[in-house]
Amino acid sequence: MIGIFFGCTVLLFEELRSTLEAFFRRARIPYEPVGVDRCCGIPLLLAGFQKEAEENGRRLVEGISQKGISTLVTSCPHCYRAFSKEFPHRFGLSAPFKTLHFTQFVADLIRRGKIRFTKPVDLKLTYHDPCYLGRMGEKIYREPREVLASIPGLKMKEMEHNRDRATCCGGGGLVRAYLPILSSAVAQEKIESQVRPTGVTGIVSSCPFCYFNLKEGAEEAEEGKIGVYDLVELLVRSMEEPQDA
């Protein structure tokens, strides 16, 4: 059985949560929602409360371990970093399950021929590498791109600075909590200097924080609308609703 760690931000926003649920429903993959009442603790860590983050992590890992799941899928790169990096390496917490980011999980399904995306999504987009999935995390660059490449009709173009050198959305490190206007200014700058020169009409991210922050930046942006998409949403658009559902 796989467990889905929705993460506090995805849980809070209906648009993200229902899309993620729709993905699993359309893919006909049963899952167990886990950790729905507890945040991964990255905000504690970023704020400077290391001990509290460790205690929070211990309780989380203990709780999830009792559920008997073999794979934990997180949709938020922050939660992914918590489970894949901080818990085992910083806090020495071992877990009886492996953790995958949503994009890794889907890329694996594609490689094994377990999932297909059939409905065309006629958009031309660029992919935003979230810092915590890429440079600051486990450098997951290939999987999100593989997943996007499997959507029929979708055309992708890279920004000048991508992967290790991708520019930040501006929302990280709790800056959005302290200086939200600065965060959206950074996002706006990214849209003008990185996204617009590619000639695409939108940017897709696989992080809820980047998604909301880029959305705000896009609203501030100068002429010519740039759309902001969540990767899960594009997948769901490309999947058929199951006949028996």
Contact flag: residue 173 with another protein (CB under 8 A): yes
Contact flag: residue 88 with another protein (CB under 8 A): no
Residue 191 CB, shortest distance to another protein, in Å, is 13
Q: Which of 171, 201, 208 is nearest to 186 (CA)?
A: 171
Residue 35 CB, shortest distance to another protein, in Å, is 9
Contact flag: residue 189 with another protein (CB under 8 A): yes
Find the binding residues for another protein in span 10-49 (CB under 8 A).
Answer: 11-12, 37-39, 41, 43-49
Contact flag: residue 158 with another protein (CB under 8 A): no
Find the binding residues for another protein in span 43-62 (CB under 8 A).
Answer: 43-50, 52, 56
Contact flag: residue 70 with another protein (CB under 8 A): no
Residue 139 CB, shortest distance to another protein, in Å, is 11
d(CA 233, CA 15): 9
Contact flag: residue 179 with another protein (CB under 8 A): yes
**Residue burial 13-47, b: 16+ Cβ < 10 Å; e: rest:** eeebbebbbbbbbbbeeebeebbeeebbbbbbbee
Residue 244 CB, shortest distance to another protein, in Å, is 35
By rule CB under 8 A, what count of residues binds another protein? 43
DSSP classification of residue 138: T
Contact flag: residue 181 with another protein (CB under 8 A): yes
CB atoms within 10 A of CB 181: 10
Token reading at 189 = 């700058």
Residue 168 CB, shortest distance to another protein, in Å, is 3
Contact flag: residue 85 with another protein (CB under 8 A): no
**Closest CB to another protein among residues 111, 161:** 161
Q: Which of 20, 39, 144, 146 is nearest to 82 (CA)?
A: 39
Contact criterion met (CB below 8 Å) for 123 and 202: yes
Could you tell me the sign of the dihedral formed by the alpha carbons of 195, 182, 163, 112, in that order? negative
**DSSP secondary structure letters along 44-71:** HHHHT-HHHHHHHHHHHHHHHHTTT-SE
**Closest CB to another protein among residues 144, 171:** 171
Question: Would you tell me which residues interact with another protein (CB under 8 A)?
Answer: 8-9, 11-12, 37-39, 41, 43-50, 52, 56, 131, 135-136, 164-168, 170-175, 177-179, 181-183, 185-186, 189-190, 193
